[in-house]
Amino acid sequence: MVSVVQAFIDFLKNNKKLSDNTIDSYKRDITQFLEYLEKINIGCFEVKKATIINYMNLLKHKNRSQATISRHLSSIKSFYQYLFMNRLIDEEPAYTLDAPKIERKVPATLSIDQVDKLLSYEFEKSEKGLRDKAIIEVLYATGLKVSELISLRIDDVNLNYGYIYCKSTKERFIPIGDSAVDALQNYISVRENVKNNDYLFLNMRGKALTRQGCWKIIKEYTDIVNPGFDITPSILRKSFAKHMLENGADIRSVQEMLGYKSTGSNELISLIAKSKIKEVYKKSHPRA
102 pLDDT more than 80? no
Integer Cα distance of 18 and 12 in angstroms = 6
Would you call 43 helix, strand, or coil by DSSP?
Answer: coil
Q: What is the Rg, in whole angstroms, of the alpha carbon atoms belonging to the chain?
A: 23
pTM greater than 0.85 (yes/no): no
Catalytic residue, chosen from 36, 221, 281, 287, is 281
> Among 105, 135, 107, 99, which residue's Cα sits nearest to residue 209?
135
3-state secondary structure 177-221: CHHHHHHHHHHHHCCCCCCCCCECCECCCCCECCHHHHHHHHHHH
Residues with Cβ < 8 Å from 130, sequence gap 6 or more?
123, 124, 183, 186, 187, 190
The percent of residues above 90 in pLDDT, for the chain, comes to 43
Per-residue pLDDT at 193: 83
Integer Cα distance of 129 and 261 in angstroms = 35
pLDDT digits (tens, 9 = 90+) for 165-203: 998 777 889 999 999 999 999 999 999 888 888 999 999
281 is catalytic: yes
Average pLDDT of the chain is 84
285 pLDDT more than 50? no
pLDDT digits (tens, 9 = 90+) for 208-248: 999 999 999 988 887 666 666 678 888 999 999 888 888 88
237 is catalytic: yes
104 pLDDT more than 60? no
Is residue 117 within 8 A of residue 135, CB to CB? The reply is no
pLDDT digits (tens, 9 = 90+) for 246-270: 888 888 888 888 887 655 556 666 6
Q: Once rounded to an integer, what is the mean pLDDT over residues 148-165? A: 94
Integer Cα distance of 70 and 68 in angstroms = 5
Q: Once rounded to an integer, what is the mean pLDDT over residues 137-151? A: 94
Per-residue pLDDT at 107: 56
115 pLDDT more than 60? yes
Q: Answer with the residue of higher pLDDT: 124 or 15.
A: 124
Q: Which helix (H) or strand (E) holds 174?
A: strand 172-175
Catalytic residue, chosen from 104, 191, 237, 252, is 237
